Amino acid sequence: ETGVTQSPTHLIKTRGQQVTLRCSSQSGHNTVSWYQQALGQGPQFIFQYYREEENGRGNFPPRFSGLQFPNYSSELNVNALELDDSALYLCASSLRTGTMGYTFGSGTRLTVV
């Protein structure tokens, strides 16, 4: 059973650019959630996908968008990057009807300069 894998692990982008982060879910999980963790903060919910449909969104602007594919892998896209977007981006997979928590990947550290 594989866990959640994210790529890339680190990324440096320039303000105004666009970025795509990728996530492969744990085998058997049908739900993917994306979180942003700024330095010294807890993970903040960006959005969640269930069976390729967005299933809820946190307080993030529309320039944050996502996709979930039939194999339940996922992408997070951020357009028009701002300095404050610098953070650790965490992907987590789960079972929609599960009562346990998420399985997290190790994250992508994004630095915007």
Partner 1 sequence: DQQVKQNSPSLSVQEGRISILNCDYTNSMFDYFLWYKKYPAEGPTFLISISSIKDKNEDGRFTVFLNKSAKHLSLHIVPSQPGDSAVYFCAARRSMDDKIIFGKGTRLHILP
Site membership for partner 1, residue 43 (CB under 8 A): yes
Say how far residue 101 (Cα) sits from the centre of its chain: 16
The DSSP 8-state label assigned to residue 72 in this structure reads S
Site membership for partner 1, residue 27 (CB under 8 A): no
Taking the complex as a whole, how short is the minimal distance between the CB of residue 41 and partner 1, in angstroms?
Answer: 6
Per DSSP, the residues of 81-99 read --GGG-EEEEEEEE-TT-S
Site membership for partner 1, residue 51 (CB under 8 A): no
Indicate which single residue of 22, 52, 55, 75 sits in contact with partner 1 (rule: CB under 8 A): 55
Number of CB atoms found within 10 A of residue 11's CB: 15
For 5, residues 6+ apart whose C-beta sits below 8 A from its C-beta are 23, 24, 105
At residue 70, the 3 state secondary structure works out as coil
Taking the complex as a whole, how short is the minimal distance between the CB of residue 55 and partner 1, in angstroms?
Answer: 7
The DSSP 8-state label assigned to residue 109 in this structure reads E
Site membership for partner 1, residue 42 (CB under 8 A): yes
Site membership for partner 1, residue 66 (CB under 8 A): no
Taking the complex as a whole, how short is the minimal distance between the CB of residue 65 and partner 1, in angstroms?
Answer: 18
Residues in contact with partner 1 by CB under 8 A are 4, 31, 33, 35, 40-45, 48, 50, 55-56, 90, 92, 94, 96, 98-107
